[in-house]
Amino acid sequence: MNSQWQRFRNRLHEIVFESDTLAGRAFDVTLLFLIVLSVLAVILESIPSLTKPYGPLFDRIEWVFTILFTLEYVLRIISIRQPLRYVFSFFGLVDLLAILPSYLGLFLFGAHELAAVRILRLLRIFRILKLGEYTEAASVLAYSLRESRAKITVFFVAIFTLVITLGAMMYVVEGHANGFQSIPLSIYWAVITITTVGYGDIVPSTPMGKFIATIIMLLGYVIIAVPTGIVAVSLTNANAGRKQEISTQACPNCSRQGHDPDAVHCKYCGAKL
């Protein structure tokens, strides 16, 4: 019976986790469809004019989805050999996040609406599509952002100290009376200004404050250019890296790789390639 259980489990894994078989594909497409519908339900439920007349209906719909997703979650845990690795993987956590809010909503007011977070499950779409073009595009983008991680961290540390400094400065210059009620609020203003979002809910009133704001905005020109430059460069590299076509030849003598495509001899030991 153990082996039968094993066979069942493998079959289940094929359906639930893979999308190569017809059943697996059908499962995935159905799932995506359900995710979109469930998110749509959560979003619509939040609209006041719909909540009132259809409140109880939305509640029932919500529970249907929650039970379906809970069932799916259990199936995933059962079918996999190392359940913990799935549970703590990105998609494992997202899957848990998709059902948790409904259960928490029983005890905590407002938690329920967080069910919209299950839209993140939609990211699974990339695995299902398996369209080479999109997978490659995603991996190039991910690679670029990863490659520029160090530069972006440095950039954010600099921005971080800058907005705190500017926030404190504006707090002193503008002061409580002009809406800059605390340093955290002034930092919030500095971020709004330097990212060029510019809500306008807090604006400088004093000439000195306006002068400083002008300087910050002009400074923002160069600042916003930095992350763009970083990403552009790493995207270029990611593309080039893919195109550079470093020869896949390994030296027959020292077996080291990384030779240029036009190399005739190994650049390390001199043996003929």
Return the residues of window 173-202 that contact a copy of itself according to CB under 8 A. Answer: 175-176, 181-185, 187-188, 191-193, 195-201
Shortest reach from residue 62's CB to a copy of itself, in Å = 13
Of the residues 82, 177, 221, 248, which one makes contact with a copy of itself according to CB under 8 A = 221
Q: Is the Cβ–Cβ distance between 231 and 189 less than 8 Å?
A: no
Taking the least distance from each CB to a copy of itself, the nearer of 65 and 80 is 65
Helices 207-243 and 149-174, packing angle to 10 deg: 170
Separation CA 201–CA 193 (nearest Å): 11
Q: List phi, psi (to 5°) of 272.
A: -70, 135
Site for a copy of itself in 228-267 (CB under 8 A): 228-237, 239, 259-260, 262-267
Of the residues 18, 34, 96, 220, which one makes contact with a copy of itself according to CB under 8 A = 220
Site for a copy of itself in 30-59 (CB under 8 A): 39, 42-43, 46-48
Shortest reach from residue 190's CB to a copy of itself, in Å = 9
Shortest reach from residue 133's CB to a copy of itself, in Å = 4
Is residue 61 within the footprint of a copy of itself (CB under 8 A)?
Answer: no
Shortest reach from residue 96's CB to a copy of itself, in Å = 15
User: CB-side exposure of 216: number of CA atoms within 13 Å?
Assistant: 27
Taking the least distance from each CB to a copy of itself, the nearer of 64 and 140 is 140
Query: Which burial class, exposed, middle or buried, applies to 193 when counting CB atoms under 10 A from its CB (0-12, 13-18, 19+)?
Result: buried
Of the residues 152, 206, 249, 250, which one makes contact with a copy of itself according to CB under 8 A = 152
- Residues 250, 252, 256: CA angle, nearest 5 degrees: 40
Separation CA 217–CA 195 (nearest Å): 9
Of the residues 159, 178, 206, 241, which one makes contact with a copy of itself according to CB under 8 A = 159
Q: List phi, psi (to 5°) of 265.
A: -115, 155
Separation CA 190–CA 220 (nearest Å): 10
Q: For the window 110-149, what string marks contact with a copy of itself as x by the rule CB under 8 A?
A: xx-xxxxx-xx-xx-xx------xx-xxx-xx--xx----
Separation CA 239–CA 233 (nearest Å): 10
